[in-house]
A and B are shown apart, each in its own frame.
Chain A
Amino acid sequence: MNATVLNDDLMAPAVIANPHAYYHNLRNTEKIHWNERWKGWVLTGYKEVVDVLRDAEHFSSDRMGYLEAELTQEEQESIAPIFRILKYWMVFRDPPDHTVLRMLLNKLFTPVAIERYRPMVRKIVQKTLDKVIDSGKMELIHDFAYEVPMSVILELIGAPDLDRDKIKEWSEKIGVFFFIKADEPRRREIACEGINALVEYITPIIEHRREHPGIDLISLLISAEEAGQITYNDVLATCVLLIFGGHETTMNLIANGTLALMQHPEQWEMLSSNPSLLKKGVEELLRFDGSVKSTVRWAKVDWMVGDKLIKQGERLLVSLSGANRDPLQFANPDTLDITRDPNLHVAFAHGIHVCLGASLARLEVEEAFAGLVKRISCPVLQQGTALDYYPSVVHRALKVLPISFQAKI
């Protein structure tokens, strides 16, 4: 074994800066590795990752259930909002509860259903680019990547006038909970603050929609509640989940994708002269440097994965980024190739929890890059900029991406 593998610190600066090198090393040495520091298994091989993600019968997503079991009654009460809301997030639930919510919501998120938002998204992209195009530079995340998904998700839940800056602030607080980071002692309290604020803010909106139903997502949830299919807790939690999950991941993908194309200018040019490559190109950006690096599962029973016995109750860090660069599945995995096909990456996970918002995210990112390659030349990093990522095991998130470019005429 070499030094990188023995280093079980998933938050080490070198791992945050370049997770792909770390996961390659780990995969080459031990595809299913017991990380003593994190006290769980880390999976970096494509086959093993896919096997676990597609097997909800033996692997649970019930994060709150397992957390509850670790905490005393008192500790639980101190973070009651986390339990009150996150416990009802579909992403943390197992069948059959998950199935009910997923079948209900899926109808609104199918590729066909989402396609009708394309003109709206295109307009948002145009307007956002109009503001910065003449200056020849922008901080891509703040000035562009953030605007698009935030506007879209608010439109989708039928509340376009919500205060974005507040929502961003609260979402960031909720996000602290997922930064698997033991040295932030207040991370759960911070998340509670974010949840409380968001809940307080959207509760009157839900009640208003109950009185004045429309064709939006909140109205659909309410009618399912009134028909006894789901509970009020589900309605509230789902609103929080969609607002929270609906913008940051997409924003980060636009940023990671822009950077990847800047580092491969020939691919930028190819996309720019060949917009029909957009769909495949987005799949490759998802594979190459997706915005969600990993997710977690718990073994429901003793179960073999590859050659390792996973004991009941043990947790697994399922590395999506690791699987997406596995040479057994992807030829030349470290090469960005926007024509790659087939490209069955795991950036949205696989199995029953596969991202509900995948079609929406794809559409948004397609339109974002359609706008970028049409209107600006391949950008370069502004001088003196260092690439700095948030220290998270879950998110692949640049702090800022300041770029310069030339507007196309």
Chain B
Amino acid sequence: MAQVKIEVNHNRCVGAQLCVYFLPGVFTLNANGQSTIIDAAKADAATIIQTAEQCPQCAITITDSSTGEVLFPPADLGF
């Protein structure tokens, strides 16, 4: 799979830390207790998508770096 870009929406992130629990090399918490990216290259795209799925808030968006296609979340998910 392709290189991906990870974005965390801080208008949604509640600091549940699930992303950090599942992929500590990629995600960490900032001083506000919200998720931020350390290094998107530390895991493969499939693993990153699986991790984004664990977020109860759909706060994590994964896009394909080269095509810009949104890989997660699907359009009908989230709120």
Contact = CB atoms under 8 A, between A and B. Distances in A.
Contacts of A344: 11-12, 14
Contacts of A349: 14
Contacts of A356: 56
B79 A283 contact: yes
Given A111-B77, A282-B79, A106 B15 contact: no
Contact of B17 (A50, A109, A346, A351): A351
Given A99-B21, A351-B14, A352-B16, A115 B54 contact: no
A109 B33 contact: no
Interface string A335-379: 000000010101011111011101100100000000000000000
A359 B53 contact: no
A142 interface: no
A304 to B, nearest CB: 15
Interface residues of B, number: 22
Nearest to B33: A54
A103 interface: yes
B79 A362 contact: yes
Chain B contact residues, majority secondary structure = loop
B71 interface: no
Contacts of B33: 50-51, 54-55, 350-351
Given A103-B21, A283-B79, A351-B33, A54 B15 contact: yes
B56 A111 contact: yes
Contact of B54 (A99, A107, A358): A107
Interface string B45-78: 0000000011110100000000000000110011
A164 B11 CA distance: 38
Interface of A: 50-51, 53-55, 99, 102-103, 106-107, 109-113, 115, 279-280, 282-283, 342, 344, 346, 348-352, 354-356, 358-359, 362
Interface of B: 11-12, 14-18, 21-22, 32-34, 53-56, 58, 73-74, 77-79
27 contacts: A50-B15, A53-B15, A54-B14, A54-B15, A102-B18, A103-B18, A103-B21, A103-B22, A106-B54, A110-B53, A110-B55, A111-B55, A111-B56, A111-B73, A111-B78, A112-B77, A115-B77, A279-B78, A279-B79, A282-B79, A342-B11, A342-B12, A344-B12, A346-B14, A351-B16, A354-B16, A358-B56
